[in-house]
Structure 1
Amino acid sequence: MKIPNAHTDSPATPTPSAESTRFTLRRKPEGFTLVELLVVIAIIGVLVGLLLPAVQAAREAARRMSCSNNLKQLGLSIHNYHSAYKQLPMHGGGTWADGAAVGSNRTNRMDLSIWVGLTPFFEQQAIWEQISNPLNGTWPAMGPETDEKTYEPWTTEIAALRCPSDPGTGLPSFGRTNYAACLGDSSVYMHMGPLGIVNFADDVSEYTVTLDANLSPHAEEARAACRGAFVAHKSTAFRDVLDGLSNTIFAGEIATDLGDNDIRTIASAEHGHDHGHGHAEEIHEEPDLCVHEGYIDDTRPSFWNAAAASTLANSDEGRGYRWASSATSFGGFNTILPPNRELCFGGTAMQDGMASTSSRHQGGVHVLMGDGAVKFLTDSIEAGDVHDANVHKGGVDHSAPGSKSPYGLWGSLGTRASRETISEEF
């Protein structure tokens, strides 16, 4: 009997049929199913949703740092200017021709912001040369009126004066600015200082501008009310800052207008009664007058409502629209209402009123102190009682000349020589 050999006598392997061959050659399709793709897309979407806020926050932090650096450079420019000229650049400086008609462009009517004089100190020598030494007789030295659209220096956008977080650009603005000078804690005479400027004509287009023959009353008013580091049409210096440079705000941020009726960037103006020098009594006595008038939208409190429409400033008078102008809407602010509050003026956007700081940063604004430090102040900074009247010559109690600021820490930081003791952290 033959014993089968496991190696040589294994059972014959069956020959596969054609059908089974076709079956074994089939392969599973490559790639993802629709369900798998949807799952992956959903996961990616969740990850993007989680990461996007962090990316946006990082970008805003970078923009905020850039804005802070701009102010630091401007602060250094102010110190270099003071070292060169032994005074601060004048807010409302420039040239004057008594009796010159508005629009004649014979002078700039002493309407230049502090940034004009500082241009050669923050790497804008070329613009300064165009302004101070015009090549032909078309324009006067130091430029024409700041609303002259055909004058190139006034319409030039200067990067050092722009905050990267502010998207504003284009007409009807000229060269925008996101930085303005601090004019103290009172709106009285803030746009005039010691000058008594009078307009003569029924038609605005035919105004001639002259000075009051008796400047003494105006100087007295300004001496009592104009308490900031900068005073319109008047020279100041570090020696005038008796409260200390580290305790006094010199400049700060302003958000430029985007044409959206933002309460911070377009003024509700034409309030009060003109007493011959833009003295809007109601606003000086009640800083939050526009709130009492019901002009702020209850459902969107960052914007004016329909009732305020007829009171709003002209579209070309938005906040920060002219870097070269010292007019209130363009080049100055006061420390009365806290940061990012409404603009409420008592005449026009060129005159006095409640004009606080503002920014596109979340929760506060940058300010430049007199010692060159840049600080970020929150909207909730202690600001006293906003129902107190502004300090002025005829004021009583908290509003009397020489009083400490009625507007708390915020107001105290805006004054140069009120001798307030600042103990709070800010």
Structure 2
Amino acid sequence: MSNYRKAFTLIELLVVIAIIGLLMALLLPAIQRVREASNRMRCQNNLKQIGIAFHNYHNDFNLLPPGFYENLGWSVFILPYIEQQALYRQYNIDQLPRQQPGIDNSTYIDYNSNPYNQMGLVLMPLYQCPSSPVKRSQATFEAVSGQQPFTIHYYGNQGPKGTNPVSGAAYRVTSGNHGGFAQQGVIGRDYQLNISEIIDGTSNTLMVGEISKNWTNGYRAWQRGRQRSDNNACAKNVANPINSTGYNGSNNFNDISFSSMHVGGTNFVMGDVSIRFLRSTVTMQVYLSLASRDGEEPFSNTD
């Protein structure tokens, strides 16, 4: 009896390799889609938890968190409501003249001075979209002992810029060299709202949205509030379409577009803590209406 065993021929081996390659080519996009779907859900959950923290803050102070007061953003003021009480206490916020809410801006904590700049080296997963390639500040002047602080991918809705489709009047916006500050949103400069002031309805008004694309020199430390006297590093105006590349950090800092690495749009948490994925194709009329808390613009939830 012969012990001869037939081996694979070169052609058969190449066929097997080709089949494996074809299967991998078919499977990899599916795996990537599953991973992105998971990341999108995690991002939405982050926004959900932020929205809940905003409402818990409101329960205590009868106001939503401040957009920012001097150099600290809302991301600091909600720390006790996202199980970060120990980190919050390190800011010594209670030492400020009027405490929360309505902190006196004549005295402020400089987030970028020792020991407060050390807080930026604490990774805050809740503040970052897992799909984003940018995890740290892009501002070299924020470096701490040679390390860039971690950044944040979620920004308050400061309000719309443009024309109200109902009244025909321009939305209220302050003057400024970097786009000014819209005045009809939910999270803005030096003001805090009671939920009752969201006249258009909490389910119809954007509260916090996502900016997680890699835009030019735009990301700052997660705890930062004011960029300069007329820049806002924790809330943005709704002035340009979602995922617009017209404003990418090099001009009109306050008008940076809400954007994401998710296909087709970006995530927002509404004033009632519901999550909405707004597509890049949403009309500016609907988008501006959603950004306004008191414009009384009509639209349907199917828009």
- Distance apart, 1:174 and its partner CA: 2.0
- Contact 2:80/2:88, CA 8 A, preserved across alignment: yes
- Is 1:52 the counterpart of 2:28? The answer is yes
- Distance apart, 1:133 and its partner CA: 6.6
- Distance apart, 1:132 and its partner CA: 2.2
Give the whole-Å Cα distance in 2 for the aligned partners of 1:87 and 1:36: 72
> Cα–Cα, structure 1 residues 90 and 353, in superposed 2: closer, same or farther, change >3 Å?
closer
| SS, match of residue 207 in structure 2 | strand
TM-score (norm 2): 0.79
The aligned amino acid for 1:234 is Y
Aligned equivalent of 2:203: 246
Q: Which of 174, 191, 198 lines up with 2:149 in the alignment?
A: 174
- Is 1:425 the counterpart of 2:299? The answer is no
Unmatched 5+ stretches in structure 1: 1-24, 94-109, 135-141, 193-220, 258-264, 267-317, 384-407
Q: Which of 53, 57, 67 lines up with 1:81 in the alignment?
A: 57
- Distance apart, 1:170 and its partner CA: 4.2
Give the whole-Å Cα distance in 1 for the aligned partners of 2:77 and 2:292: 23
* Cα-Cα RMSD: 2.8
- Distance apart, 1:190 and its partner CA: 7.8
Q: How many pairs does the alignment contain?
A: 265
> Cα–Cα, structure 1 residues 176 and 353, in superposed 2: closer, same or farther, change >3 Å?
closer
- Between the two proteins, what is the percent identity of the paired residues? 32
Aligned equivalent of 1:281: none
> Cα–Cα, structure 1 residues 133 and 382, in superposed 2: closer, same or farther, change >3 Å?
closer
- Contact 1:340/1:357, CA 8 A, preserved across alignment: yes
Unmatched 5+ stretches in structure 2: 95-106, 139-147, 162-171
> Cα–Cα, structure 1 residues 171 and 374, in superposed 2: closer, same or farther, change >3 Å?
closer
Aligned equivalent of 1:234: 191
Give the whole-Å Cα distance in 1 for the aligned partners of 2:258 and 2:137: 22
Any runs of at least 4 consecutive aligned residues in structure 1 with deviations exceeding 6 A, and if so which?
Answer: none
- Is 1:366 the counterpart of 2:280? The answer is no
Structure of greater Rg = 1
- Is 1:115 the counterpart of 2:75? The answer is yes
| SS, match of residue 184 in structure 1 | strand
Q: Which of 275, 278, 284 lines up with 1:377 in the alignment?
A: 278
- Distance apart, 1:179 and its partner CA: 0.3
The aligned amino acid for 1:244 is G
> Cα–Cα, structure 1 residues 190 and 419, in superposed 2: closer, same or farther, change >3 Å?
farther
Q: C-alpha deviations, 1:202-244, integer Å up to 9, x for none? A: xxxxxxxxxxxxxxxxxxx97xx51111220112120111110
Give the whole-Å Cα distance in 1 for the aligned partners of 2:25 and 2:76: 45
- Contact 1:367/1:377, CA 8 A, preserved across alignment: yes
Q: Which of 117, 141, 154 lines up with 2:120 in the alignment?
A: 154
TM-score (norm 1): 0.57
Q: C-alpha deviations, 1:254-297, integer Å up to 9, x for none? A: 1153xxxxxxx12xxxxxxxxxxxxxxxxxxxxxxxxxxxxxxx
> Cα–Cα, structure 1 residues 256 and 45, in superposed 2: closer, same or farther, change >3 Å?
closer
Greater relative contact order (Cα 8 A, min sep 6): structure 1 or 2? 2
